[in-house]
Chains A and B, each alone.
Chain A
Amino acid sequence: MNIERQEIEKLATLARIAIDESTITEVAERLGSVLELVDQLQAADTSSLDGVSSGMQATQRLREDEVTEINQREALQATAPDTEEGLFLVPKVIE
């Protein structure tokens, strides 16, 4: 299955993964091969499932609204790439 260069670029932007210009053809080729595999799904007859709910029957359990977490900032930030005054620092955010 062919996947356009443009499409790869869009995916890379959505997924925030820089793709090197020189490898884009290769990436496209291999993705295309996987998509060809998953495209087999299109042939599946799922008409028997109409009205059948999928997934598990279990239901979400609920937690009591009680504070169970204490401040662990120091431990949690111990391996953080860049912090100052307890804040995680990133290049300037432009909204």
Chain B
Amino acid sequence: MSNSGWETVIGLEVHVQLATKTKIFSGASTTYGAEPNTQACAIDLAMPGTLPVLNKQAVHYAVMFGLAIDAEIGKESAFERKNYFYPDLPKGYQTTQLEKPIVGRGNVEIQMADGRTKNVRIHHAHLEEDAGKSLHEGDFRHGVSGIDLNRAGTPLIEIVSEPDMSNAEEAIAFAKKLHSIVTSIGICDGEMSQGSMRFDVNVSVRRTGTTELGTRTETKNLNSYKFMEEAIAKEVERQIDLIEDGGTVLQETRLYNGDTKVARSMRSKEEANDYRYFPCPDLLPVIVSDETIEELRRNLPELPDARQARFIEQYGLSAYDAAMIGSDAAMAAYFETATKESGNAKLAANWTMGELAARLNSEDLSINKSPVNAEQLGGLVARIADNSISGKMAKEVFEGMWAGEGSADEIIEARGLKQVSDSGALEQMVADVLAANQAMVDDYINTDEAKRKKKLGGFMGKIMQASKGQANPQQVNQILVQKLNELV
């Protein structure tokens, strides 16, 4: 299928769980993964007579987000009730913001792989409460759903973008940038697999050259960049096919199942879609003072763009490396610790982005859960930097650290991996190998000078073998060339 002749228009609504200790309206814990309904108090269960009281930290986190995207801060915001029935929504309404959100218009700059940048406008961001979860299978009888309300009342900000993105790459760059911002300022743990950030994607298509927006659909609750990319591709294709076949796109909510790769309309929730918003009478207008805003602004942690610039400046990283590491708050912190520990930023960067990232990725772990902590990696990098171990040995040490065998030095010691750099010992080793392999030496001497370099590998292999891999390769190479040239 070809999309030529068509333009795609994408807007995102992003739900970000705020990293507060407690719910937005109750003092129940928000810790992830607790036994069902053990973190759902009377307020979260909407027991009769219970009332909400707003969490200060949630308000401050929302304001911090506003400051991070240079948005207007709603100095007076208000909560409203959005009415609908669903078993994971205990009150029968969601307490959210509509008319007066806490964060107004703002801007987020995104950067594409080719270096191109683009501004995505933020329409607003508002505070609201998360719903619980409906479980469709588990240790309960068949044909029913089980409702766990631990998540109910977890504070969210919903960030609503303007439809400023025109392909999946931009949408994902935007999503990643938001992830980078909210984790950098510490208002969200960024754990996508736990639903800490969820994306609703609004997609419409129009013929190239036209300006009127087409009818959009909303694909809800995507929780990975990959699923987002797939869902957008599928939806764009579906809409184009539909219109080209003479049909029309219906404004609807859709679901995309990342496991089965199937997208479908979510009609059941759509019928009689009239949310009857009205101001929540249990909550008063939320006032954020200028003093509070200024204090939060002063204490706002470093933003990803500033951090990337600093990494280039302070550590001499390339723009690419700075972007890779600097966009992820946890990775950036990890890198800085490893650099401090090792004294070598470039090597620390390579190891953080290379071996570590690959390993975390393959085991689906976040950097916060890495079995090898930043101090440990720094210790390893230090030994590479001072030539104590070779790159090959370093990988072995890394494996050891990953398996929990201790620090780099402990593992090097325990496994006897320390590189031999003593030149006297190395000269003896090279001499022994040359003496034992006269045929190779003759071959080397008889080879044209220009082609002799290729013959070095054979000697190197034998020497390294003899040293059980512990010889410093650069030094060995130097001694070897010197000794062979003496023979020629």
User: Do A and B contact each other directly (Cβ–Cβ < 8 Å)?
Assistant: yes
The smallest C-beta distance from A11 to any residue of chain B, in angstroms, reads: 10
Interface residues of B (CB under 8 A from A): 20-22, 26-29, 35-43, 45, 47, 53-59, 83, 85-87, 134-136, 138-141, 143-149, 255, 266, 268-269, 271-272, 274, 276, 279, 283-287
With A56-B284, A59-B285, A62-B59 given, is the CB distance from A84 to B145 under 8 Å?
Answer: no
| A71 lies within 8 A of B146 (CB) | no
Cα(A87)–Cα(B132), bound, Å: 11
Given A87-B138, A90-B87, A95-B269, also A60-B37 (CB < 8 A): no
Q: What is the CA–CA distance of A94 and B255 in the complex, to the nearest angstrom?
A: 12
**Residues A63 and B56 in contact, CB atoms below 8 Å apart:** yes
A92 B136 Cβ-Cβ under 8 A: yes
A51 proximal to B (CB < 8 A):
no
Residues in A neighbouring B140, C-beta threshold 8 A:
84-85, 87, 89
Establish whether residues A90 and B55, one from each chain, have CB atoms under 8 Å apart when the complex forms.
Answer: no
Interface CB pairs A-B, < 8 A, 5: A60-B284, A65-B56, A73-B35, A89-B147, A93-B145
A77 to B279, CA, bound (A): 30
CB contacts (< 8 Å) of A30 on chain B: these are none
Q: Are A71 and B27 in contact (CB under 8 A)?
A: no
- Residue from B39, B139, B255, B283 in contact with A60 in the complex, judged by beta carbons closer than 8 Å: B283
The answer, yes or no, to whether A52 is at the interface (CB within 8 Å) is no
Beta-carbon contact of B144 and A66 below 8 Å: no
* Selected contact of A88 from candidates B37, B43, B266, CB within 8 Å: B37
Question: Which of B39, B43, B85, B144 touches A92 (beta carbons < 8 Å)?
Answer: B144
Provide the residues of chain B in CB contact with A71, threshold 8 Å. 38-39
A91 — which chain B residues lie within 8 A by C-beta?
A: 143-145
A87/B36 in contact, CB under 8 A:
yes
Residues of A with C-beta under 8 A to B43: 69
CA distance A92 to B45 in the complex (A): 20
Q: Top 8 A-B pairs ranked by shortest CB distance?
A: A68-B27, A87-B146, A62-B56, A65-B57, A69-B41, A84-B140, A60-B284, A88-B147
Bound-complex Cα distance A74 to B337 (A) = 45
Closest chain A residue to B271, Cβ basis: A13
The closest CB in chain A to the CB of B274 belongs to A14
> Does A41 interact with chain B (Cβ within 8 Å)?
no
